[in-house]
């Protein structure tokens, strides 16, 4: 079986898995106490007669007055077309909320994952190379200790000790209002400050010195949450890299490379690490698959406007459509990440054949 057949088969399995996960997601929300329409009307706080009329309209609009199998088919259609409905808490389209918050989550969790992977792999390689020494023991103790501490506690500690130099809340200076995107896409970024009575629109130029000020403000506010997540996550990659490297360093090809006079840096990073990287690829792929779930606890501690904080608020306030959409997206991203990892195996290790 060639590469094309493998890709077709793998994608077919992925589609079946996505449908099964969506079906399970549908069943879970159907078994929730109460009904979504009742919760929606209760959030409105209307009079009983008006609420009854609104309840009927709501059920008809979303097909909730249809038989269960019709609702299931409608649910599949809405998920595949990204018609996630309206947030019962914010009274705005769920898809719009997701699109607004995804860049903030990518900025926070993406940076933290990249830094933690790099630091974890480097420290893991050093620990395996210096196995049995005091340096190895220090790296192991720090990795185990920092990875075991609650992330909210780490965040609070860093706020106490570093909060006088770095912002401890929000993703941008409050005078910017509400940026619609964390990255300057064009020469001008429009930000709006919404109030109950009116909307005040301000403009921030992001060309020339304004661009440096904009990017600097974002990175300045992102330092503490990114640093917290990096410190919390790097330990797992350190332990995994160390374990795989210890096995790789005992192989015959490592002895041969050293006998040929290859530098120790090349032995560690070009020979041993390349052959020990498959478990690291799997771990990194799964981590990026869960990227869209955000860092719920960290975002809550630092009031970061990403998907994690939104998920927490949606669960607390039983925002049915928001929870249903985000669970579907997380499932989709994890499945895609696994497919990417499978393809990367063949690139990193030529011994792996698709057949």
Whether residue 199 has pLDDT greater than 50 = no
Query: Does position 298 have pLDDT exceeding 50, yes or no?
Result: yes
CA distances for 351 relative to 140, 232, 253, 275, 354, angstroms: 32, 34, 15, 10, 10
How large is the average pLDDT for residues 69-96? 81
Residue keyed to tokens 């008809």: 60
Q: What is the pLDDT of residue 191?
A: 38
Token pair recorded at residue 203: 């403009």
In a domain, 302, yes or no: yes
pTM, full prediction:
0.73
How many domains does the chain contain in total?
1
In this structure, is residue 88 part of a structural domain? no
For the stretch 165-192, pLDDT in tens is 888 777 776 666 655 555 544 333 333 3
pLDDT of residue 15: 86
Which among 17, 82, 2, 5 is positioned nearest to 337, based on CA atoms? 17
Measured distance CA(163)–CA(191) in Å, rounded:
26
- Averaged pLDDT for residues 199-212: 46
Note the pLDDT of residue 205: 43
The SS3 of residue 204 is strand
In a domain, 3, yes or no: no
Question: What is residue 190's predicted lDDT score, i.e. its pLDDT?
Answer: 37
Asked which of 107-116, 199-208, 251-260 is least confident by mean pLDDT, the reply is 199-208
Domain of 159 in residue numbering reads as 94-348
Burial class (CB in 10 A: 0-12, 13-18, 19+), 208: exposed
pLDDT band per the 50, 70, 90 thresholds, residue 33: low
C-beta separation of 43 from 89 below 8 A: yes
pLDDT for res 288: 72
Residue 139 counted as domain residue: yes
DSSP letter for each residue of 138-160: HHHHHHHHHHHS-HHHHHHHHHH
Mean pLDDT of 91-119: 85
Domain of 128, CATH number, reads 1.10.3720.10
81 pLDDT more than 60? yes
Give a yes or no: residue 326 inside a domain: yes
Token pair for 176: 């910017």
Residue 295 lies in a domain: yes
Stretch (H or E) spanning 194: strand 188-194
- Angle at which helices 3-30 and 320-348 pack, to 10 degrees? 160
How does pLDDT run across 64-79, given as a tens digit for each residue? 677 888 888 888 888 8
For 209-268, the DSSP string reads HHHHHHHHHHHHHHHHHHHHHHHHHHHHHHHHHHHHHHHHTTSHHHHHHHHTT--HHHII
What's the N-to-C CA distance of the chain in angstroms? 4
Are residues 319 and 144 in contact, defined by beta-carbon separation less than 8 angstroms?
no
Q: Is residue 42 part of a domain?
A: no
Vertex 121 angle, CA 116 and 122, to 5°: 105
3-class DSSP state of 355: coil
Task: Specify if 75 maps to a domain.
Answer: no
């Amino acid at each position: 079986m060639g590469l094309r057949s493998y890709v077709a088969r793998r994608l077919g399995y992925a589609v079946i898995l996505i449908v099964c996960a969506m079906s399970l997601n549908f069943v879970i929300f159907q078994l929730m106490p109460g009904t979504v329409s009742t919760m929606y009307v209760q959030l409105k706080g209307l009079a009983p007669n008006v609420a009854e009329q609104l309840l009927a309209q709501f059920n008809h609009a979303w097909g909730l007055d249809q038989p269960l199998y019709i609702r299931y088919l409608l649910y599949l259609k809405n998920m595949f077309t990204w018609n996630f409905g309206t947030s019962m808490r914010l009274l705005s389209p769920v898809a719009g909320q997701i699109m607004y918050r995804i860049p903030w989550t990518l900025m926070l969790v993406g940076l933290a994952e990249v830094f933690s992977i790099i630091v974890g792999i480097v420290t893991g390689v050093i620990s395996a190379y210096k196995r049995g020494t005091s340096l190895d023991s220090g790296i192991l103790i720090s990795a185990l200790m920092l990875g075991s501490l609650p992330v909210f506690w780490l965040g609070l500690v860093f706020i106490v000790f570093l909060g006088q130099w770095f912002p401890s809340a929000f993703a941008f200076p409050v005078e910017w209002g509400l940026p619609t995107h964390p990255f300057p896409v064009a020469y001008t970024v429009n930000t709006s400050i919404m109030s109950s009575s009116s909307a005040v629109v301000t403009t921030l130029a992001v060309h020339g010195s304004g661009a440096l000020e904009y990017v600097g403000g974002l990175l300045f506010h992102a330092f503490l949450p990114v640093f917290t997540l990096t410190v919390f996550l790097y330990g797992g990659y350190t332990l995994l890299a160390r374990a795989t490297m210890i096995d790789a360093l005992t192989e015959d090809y490592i002895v041969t490379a050293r006998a040929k006079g290859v530098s120790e840096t090349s032995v560690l990073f070009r020979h041993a690490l390349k052959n020990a990287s498959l478990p690291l690829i799997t771990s990194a792929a799964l981590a990026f698959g869960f990227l869209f779930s955000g860092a719920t606890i960290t975002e809550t501690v630092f009031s970061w406007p990403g998907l994690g904080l939104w998920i927490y608020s949606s669960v607390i306030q039983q925002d049915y459509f928001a929870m249903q959409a985000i669970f579907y997206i997380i499932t989709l991203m994890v499945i895609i990440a696994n497919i990417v990892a499978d393809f990367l195996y063949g690139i990193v290790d030529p011994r792996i054949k698709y057949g």
